[in-house]
Amino acid sequence: MNGANASVFVVVAAYNEGRVIRSTLEPLIGAGYSVVVVDDGSRDDTSSVLAQLPVYSLRHLINLGQGAALQTGMAFALRQEAEYVVHFDADGQHRMADIPVLLEPLVKGEADVVLGSRFLKREHREAVPEKRRLVLRVARFINLLFTGVWLTDAHNGFRALTRAAAARIALRENGYAHASEILSQIARQKLRYVERPTAIAYTDYSRAKGQPLSNAFNIVLDLVLRGLFR
Amino acid sequence: MRPIQFLLVGLLGAGVCFYFARLRTRLIDRSLVLLTAVAGVVLIAVPEWSTELAALFGVGRGVDLIIYVGLFLLAFVCLLLYARIRALQGRLTDLVRAGAIRDARRPERLRIAAPDQRPAHAA
């Protein structure tokens, strides 16, 4: 096992991903990363699949939301003395090969948080479905308005953080609004952040499952309400 | 609508937002609800007062004033309930998270031992 990678804790939030979770996790395990999977109250066989894999496996007894699952995973990883924490999607959309790309600025001490972006390289950009690309372009401005952070990709779940940065993030949004909350906290904690190019693999599975565009409205609503009800 | 009405609505809206973001206390919450409820009851019990009060505010009828007060009360109570639900959700999350971390499964037990680490009696 590659000892160096073991201090990189890859946190995966999984909800009803029994079909693909094994194929998502096996490469990560093979590369020697410490993998933390949080089963967010799945109703399928996700849990039993996880039981057969050499990963840290946590389970929310009820479904709380992706934000909550990520926060649980991060808190756990920190307790295991993680040096770096990576957020990685359970459905196979993220490529393991991009993890070193995200880690590089952290290892060099150039940033505290690295965010993946689909819009930094042309081949990545063109892989994003037309409609989603448009929505994401608009989302950038809304994101700037609410978080004060300008990103080329405002809604990308692929992130890497140093231990110190992860310790200063405490997500309270359980649902999809956590993505914006992370950015708000990065801004408020004055953490240094950069974007790095990452690819997203849109498979039929992930496309079918993907975030409905109507969620955009819910996210904005969540942001407004969070501002009011601290 | 007259300019003063825009101003009052704006101020009221801003006041409510500010209240929920910063000033809220249980005591004030309950006082406001009680006050509005008492005001509502009084105005219904003594309708002439509502007409006089309405005239004072530039509202057409006493009934209209009661409706405005009632709507404000309703909206306020809804927001209070929402705030309470959010707080409850936070506590529920903390509870579920603590359980998940406490019962976490570690990967070590699944790692296959190297040949020289297997027990001597194994074939």
Which has more confidence, B29 or A35?
A35
pLDDT tens for residues B72-100? 778 888 888 888 899 999 999 999 999 99
pLDDT tens for residues A101-140? 999 999 999 999 999 998 888 888 888 888 888 888 888 8
Q: If DSSP codes are grouped into helix, strand and coil, which group holds residue A86? A: strand
Chain A / chain B CB contacts < 8 angstroms: 68
Beta carbons of B96 and A68 less than 8 Å apart: yes
Query: What band does A2 get if pLDDT is binned at 50, 70 and 90?
Result: low
Measured in angstroms, the CA of A119 and the nearest CA of chain B are apart by 34
Residue B114 confidence (pLDDT): 46
Q: Nearest chain B residue to A228 by CA: give it.
A: B21
Beta carbons of A174 and B93 less than 8 Å apart: yes
Residue A65 confidence (pLDDT): 94
Two tokens at B61?
């009828």
Which of A34, A61, A229 faces B83 most closely, judged by CB atoms? A229
Q: Does B110 touch chain A (CB under 8 A)?
A: yes
Q: Does B101 touch chain A (CB under 8 A)?
A: yes
Q: Does B100 touch chain A (CB under 8 A)?
A: yes
pLDDT tens for residues B14-45? 777 777 777 677 788 778 877 877 877 787 78
What residues pair up with A89 in beta bridges, in sequence order?
A13
pLDDT tens for residues A44-78? 999 999 999 999 999 999 999 999 999 999 999 99
pTM: 0.79
Q: Nearest chain A residue to B19 by CA: give it.
A: A228
Query: What band does A1 get if pLDDT is binned at 50, 70 and 90?
Result: very low
Q: Does B86 touch chain A (CB under 8 A)?
A: yes
Strand order in the sheet with A8-14: A56-60, A34-40, A8-14, A84-89, A159-162, A113-117, A193-197
Two tokens at A229?
């009800």
- Percent helix, percent strand, percent coil in chain A, to nearest 5: 45, 20, 35
Which has more confidence, B105 or B34?
B105
Q: Nearest chain B residue to A64 by CA: give it.
A: B93
Where are any strands of DSSP class E within chain A?
8-14, 34-40, 56-60, 84-89, 113-117, 159-162, 193-197
Q: Does A22 touch chain B (CB under 8 A)?
A: no
Q: What is the ipTM of this complex?
A: 0.87
Query: What band does A212 get if pLDDT is binned at 50, 70 and 90?
Result: low
Give contacts of B90 with chain A, Cβ < 8 Å: 172
pLDDT at B10 over 90: no
What mean pLDDT value characterizes chain A?
Answer: 89
pLDDT at A100 over 80: yes
pLDDT at B64 over 50: yes
